[in-house]
Amino acid sequence: MKIAVWDISTRVFHWALVAACVTAYLTSRTERYIELHAVSGYALFCFVLFRLVWGFVGNRYARFSNFIRGWKKTRDCLADLLSFKPHRNIGHNPAVGWVVLIMLAVLLVVSITGVVTYSGEENKGFLAGAFSFSTAQYAHLIHSYIAYAFVLVIVLHVSAALVHDFIFRENIIVAMITGHKEDAEGFAARSETEAPQRAGRSARLAAFLLLSVLGGWVLVSFNLTSVLHTEYVPHAEPPVLVRDATGTPVPFVENELWFGECGESCHGVFHPTLLPEKSWVLVMAGLDEHFGDDASLEPDEVEEILKFLVANSAERSTTEASQKILWTMEESSPLLRITRMPYWLKKHSKIKDEVYGRSSVTSPSNCAACHRDAAVGRFDDTQIVVPD
């Protein structure tokens, strides 16, 4: 006789969580798919919150009270499992119950640190700019280590499910699809009538265990960019956020005088968030010898532009590019050229000189040639397209 164990909500949650985890891992190897990675992370976060609530209000077998037990029962359950004489449970056994809680807790930490990283490093998401870059860096470190460690948990989880199916003959994987499991009498009757075929079962179990391990290896090593060659699709980018005098992130507002004198009359626009305050002060103080040209302006114009540049310098910016430029600079030697910054040099070290010589690029300082979002100052990896 079949018993309805896993309701539709629990089953949809389980397989949706699987899809979100796989998508998150496959898109984590490159920032080219950072938006898809973030979407899968947000979905995962929502799924975990749902399961935590469902653990209290769901059906009998979905509730935590049904499978969370004390240490004695959990210890006895583990001992039975290790002796290959487990007591059969219609729902989760006590050992699996604690594993479920641990997995949900780990996924919650991964999700939260992902949100902090996305908002602080990438300056995106519903909390964009709410966290400092340094906070996001620490969150990113925790996020990465725990996420990769969770792959081991996934492999163990899948392996345990396979053991229950092939050794203990419980068909728990099918049950998570159909929602039904056999009652005690039906399970006993099937176990008695089935031929042992231990050698065949062991061979299949070994094959599936190997597959689960290989699947874990693929999750942590697979690079989606190596098989998907997506074309760049232009789309509007939101303005970057800079911190005002109170430290509050506000949208960057362009200055017309700066754009006209520096961006149209002289050269292409170099976003003010790419240089620190000291560098902009030196640049504006030497306009009479501005990289070999006389770019002198009226005193009031110099004052207005400098005030704008300082208010939007790298120190006040929330973008990843700005903060990494600051981190790699020496306090005693402010540089005037963005293309001489240590971070810029490291980031562009693999680009051949031939690329800069192309008519579509012309020079290393032509940021907009490859960065489709250079004008707004974001410099996201997803917006990089090297022209022919």
DSSP secondary structure, 297-317, as one string:
--HHHHHHHHHHHHHTSTTTB
Q: Tell me, what's the pLDDT at 229?
A: 46
| Averaged confidence pLDDT in the chain | 83
pLDDT band for position 52 (50/70/90)?
very high
Which of helix, strand or coil describes residue 388? coil
In whole angstroms, what is the distance from residue 211 CA to residue 186 CA?
A: 30
Range name among 168-177, 226-235, 303-312 with the lowest pLDDT average: 226-235
Q: Tell me, what's the pLDDT at 222?
A: 59
Query: Does residue 197 carry a pLDDT above 70?
Result: no
H helical segments located in the chain:
8-26, 34-57, 64-67, 71-82, 94-120, 133-166, 172-178, 184-193, 198-221, 256-258, 277-285, 299-311, 320-327, 342-347, 353-356
Q: Tell me, what's the pLDDT at 183?
A: 66
Q: Please give the model's pTM, rounded to 2 decimal places.
A: 0.74
pLDDT band for position 132 (50/70/90)?
confident
Tokens at 100, concatenated: 């479920």
Range name among 237-251, 258-272, 295-309 with the lowest pLDDT average: 258-272
Q: Tell me, what's the pLDDT at 78?
A: 79
Neighbours of 222 (CB within 10 A): 14
In whole angstroms, what is the distance from residue 369 CA to residue 348 CA?
A: 14
Kindly state the average pLDDT of the residues 187-193: 54
Query: Does residue 75 carry a pLDDT above 80?
Result: yes
Q: Tell me, what's the pLDDT at 63?
A: 92
Contact 24, 196 (CB under 8 A): no
pLDDT band for position 29 (50/70/90)?
confident
pLDDT band for position 55 (50/70/90)?
very high
Q: Tell me, what's the pLDDT at 304?
A: 94
Query: Does residue 235 carry a pLDDT above 60?
Result: no
Q: Tell me, what's the pLDDT at 331?
A: 62
In whole angstroms, what is the distance from residue 202 CA to residue 182 CA?
A: 23
Q: Tell me, what's the pLDDT at 200?
A: 56
Q: Tell me, what's the pLDDT at 68?
A: 87
Range name among 32-46, 152-166, 208-222 with the lowest pLDDT average: 208-222
Q: Tell me, what's the pLDDT at 310?
A: 94
The structural architecture, per CATH, of the domain 2-226 is Up-down Bundle (1.20)
Nearest C-alpha neighbor of 109 from the set 138, 132, 133: 138
Kindly state the average pLDDT of the residues 79-105: 82
Strand partners, 160: none
Render pLDDT for 317-342 as a digit per residue (tens, 0 to 9). 988 889 888 888 766 567 888 888 88
Percent pLDDT > 70 in the chain is 83
- Domain ranges in the chain are 2-226, 241-383
What count of Cα atoms within 13 Å lies in the side-chain half-sphere of residue 124?
A: 17
In whole angstroms, what is the distance from residue 313 CA to residue 277 CA?
A: 6
More confident residue, 108 or 152: 108
Kindly state the average pLDDT of the residues 210-234: 57
Render pLDDT for 138-159 as a digit per residue (tens, 0 to 9). 999 999 999 989 988 888 888 8
Neighbours of 193 (CB within 10 A): 7
In whole angstroms, what is the distance from residue 239 CA to residue 309 CA?
A: 16
pLDDT band for position 208 (50/70/90)?
low
Strand partners, 181: 3
Contact 314, 326 (CB under 8 A): yes
Q: Tell me, what's the pLDDT at 167?
A: 72
